[in-house]
Amino acid sequence: MGPSVALAIFVTILESKLGEFVAPAVTEAAVDAGLPSSSIPTLLTDLATGGFTSVPGITPQIIAAVRAAQAEAAADAFRYAQTPNLT
């Protein structure tokens, strides 16, 4: 039972931190790269699928910035979720 409890705790923490870290990081990166703030809700909706074609004002440069921010935020969330398992 120990490993399954640890996994459940890890997944819970990871999901929580993904929600906390990804949206703000992606929003900041997208706006800094030139995406109009009015397009952020559509961007965040489309982020899960990676299909950004419906995002008004999106460019390849903005997509690159968003993907980089998403990857960094996900790595931060993973490191945060893994920390309790190291103690």
Residue pointed to by tokens 């998403």? 70
In contact, 39 and 55? CB cutoff 8 Å: yes
Q: Is the pTM of this model over 0.75?
A: yes
| Span 44-76, pLDDT tens digits | 999 988 889 899 999 999 999 999 999 899 887
Confidence of residue 38 (pLDDT cuts 50, 70, 90): very high
